[in-house]
Amino acid sequence: MGKPTGFMEYDRKNETAQEPLERIKHFNEFHTPMREKDRREQASRCMDCGVPFCQSGMMIHGMASGCPLNNLVPEWNDLLFRGNMEKALQMLRQTNNFPEFTSRVCPALCEAACTCGMNGSPVTSKANENAIVEYGYANGLMEAAPPKVRTGKKVAVVGSGPSGLAAADQLNKRGHDVTVYERNDHIGGLLMYGIPNMKLEKWVIERKQRVMEEEGVKFVVNADVGKNIKAEDLLKQYDSVILCCGASNPRDIKAPGREAQGIYFAVDFLTRSTKHVLSGQKEGWIDTNGKNVVVIGGGDTGNDCVGTAVRQGAKSVVQVEMMPKLPDERAASNPWPEWPRVCKTDYGQEEAIAVYGKDPRIYQATVKEFIADKNGVLKKVKLIKLEPRKDAKTGRVSMAEVAGSEFEIPADYVLIAAGFLGAQEYVAKAFKVKLDARSNVETSSGSYRTSVDRVFTAGDMHRGQSLVVWGIREGRHVAREVDETLMGYTNLV
């Protein structure tokens, strides 16, 4: 695959990003695509490694190694290197319904498992994927292809995030009549309102929506199933219903003073910011300009909050993380091809460093108290230091408070980005589906069938909070099971 000596001849080169102080002036994507010649050189670094871990999608010690979609990475890297873009696109689309999304927002599990990365720099597979799919759009290769034959079967998909869209796309290609119900005013789920515009411009979602509509998928927005649309009505109208409503219960911080004004969940902050960016809507907008912002949580969502607050002109931004700082390089206990547990300075943190002169992250700390003024408006956050302690009986390590280590920092706004837990109860109750101990919709192992006849589930609602690639994988798998149920067999992959 690729050029046999490419990984020795060429160093890894990433696409040029606007400097932090420039890109914070807008909410648009900020990477410049490479020239075709340079991109083909990068693709040539994909070596004939024998066992392509990049596409394995294995779980090793509870962490994903390689692409969960089993993308044919070496094949389309080779075709890109050779300039056969049309065939590269065909290979890419065999396993991935939405490379225009994953090539922008996926953390690139393929690259983390790349053999080149074992002793050097991995292949730029994520950027190569983006080059292939955008070539397809630019050259008329992504136009609608409606199914030639319809089966007469009707399927409702509740939720239009990655899993719901993937399920709808697959089932529509099979010839079923598919309608997607979305409770927000735009489709996309967290792709639309949970991921900020600078990571995924929303015209990318709208472009794909138009193609899917031309292929026959119907979208109904402002449709909150379980509230303004009855579950029993969907079960009467459709042969099958797929619940893809996400893990929509944000984890809260139960500390004294939680009722203070100025504390928001991260997804609410990001949603309102995106609506303001797209339409100028100021109703409910959380404007952090000139304010002291504290972000609780160190994951991707926390970083997105940092980048958004910086763009809004926050006076200061601090990001609080419970866990210790990860090492800058792989530890001996974290060998390739495991997911690298190393410290990553993402775009938002880079921007905070450029604006405020220091890394915004405070490690090994948590909220002890929210402090408000006499009017109930947040003014400070009291934090306390944490340290890892091992339980003598179980051997488990947990983070424990360090006595006397409390300290206060100014805070006009706190954004809680501590993750999500399970399906929202009103949807589960509407369909009478059982939930498991983690409040996800219960299914038997290896199945997407719920406890209710003709009702299936997929995505974060089924597996818990996860990545876009896992959502797409679940959507493809539930589509296969639904198709087999409806037709007696399936040819979906």
> Looking up tokens 């290896």, which residue turns up?
446
Residues 218 and 82 in one domain: no
Q: What is the sign, positive or negative, of the torsion defined by CA atoms of 108, 16, 29, 2?
A: negative
Residues 412 and 269 in one domain: yes
CATH of the domain at 452: 3.50.50.60
What residue spans of 434-492 are helical by DSSP H?
Answer: 460-463, 468-487
In the prediction, which pLDDT does 2 show? 64
In the prediction, which pLDDT does 50 show? 87
What proportions of the chain, in percent to the nearest 5, are helix, strand and coil? 35, 20, 45
Residues 282 and 411 in one domain: yes
Task: Please give the helix or strand (H or E) that residue 330 lies within, else none.
Answer: none
Domain boundary among 388, 416, 444: 416
Residues 86 and 170 in one domain: no
CATH of the domain at 57: 1.10.1060.10
Largest CA distance in the chain: 71
Q: What is the sign, positive or negative, of the torsion defined by CA atoms of 405, 410, 412, 414?
A: negative
pLDDT in tens, 300-323: 999 999 999 999 999 999 999 999
In this structure, what DSSP letter does residue 387 have? E
Nearest to 15 by CA among 103, 119, 138: 103
Residues 275 and 406 in one domain: yes
Domain boundary among 393, 416, 439: 416
In the prediction, which pLDDT does 91 show? 97
Domain of residue 191 covers 154-248+421-487
* Angle between helix 36-43 and helix 125-138 axes, rounded to 10 deg: 140
Number of structural domains, the chain? 3
8 Å CB contact between 319 and 306: yes
Task: Please give the helix or strand (H or E) that residue 17 lies within, else none.
Answer: strand 16-17
Amino acid, single-letter form, for residue 460: D
Structure tokens that stand for 334 in this block: 């974290």
In the prediction, which pLDDT does 1 show? 58
Residues 462 and 354 in one domain: no
Residues 160 and 96 in one domain: no
In the prediction, which pLDDT does 48 show? 79
Strand partners, 264: 415
Residue 157: how many other CB atoms lie within 10 Å: 34
Residues 233 and 187 in one domain: yes
8 Å CB contact between 359 and 349: yes
Residues 337 and 481 in one domain: no
In the prediction, which pLDDT does 119 show? 87
8 Å CB contact between 417 and 266: yes
Length of the chain: 493
CA dist., res. 488 & res. 20, Å (int): 55
In a domain, 198, yes or no: yes
Give the pLDDT means over successive 10-residue stretches in the chain (493 positions).
Answer: 85 97 98 96 92 93 93 96 97 98 97 93 97 98 97 98 98 98 97 97 98 98 97 98 94 96 97 94 91 96 98 98 95 93 96 98 98 98 96 90 97 96 93 95 96 97 95 98 98 94
Structure tokens that stand for 327 in this block: 């090492």
Classified as helix, coil or strand, 425 is: helix
Amino acid, single-letter form, for residue 198: M
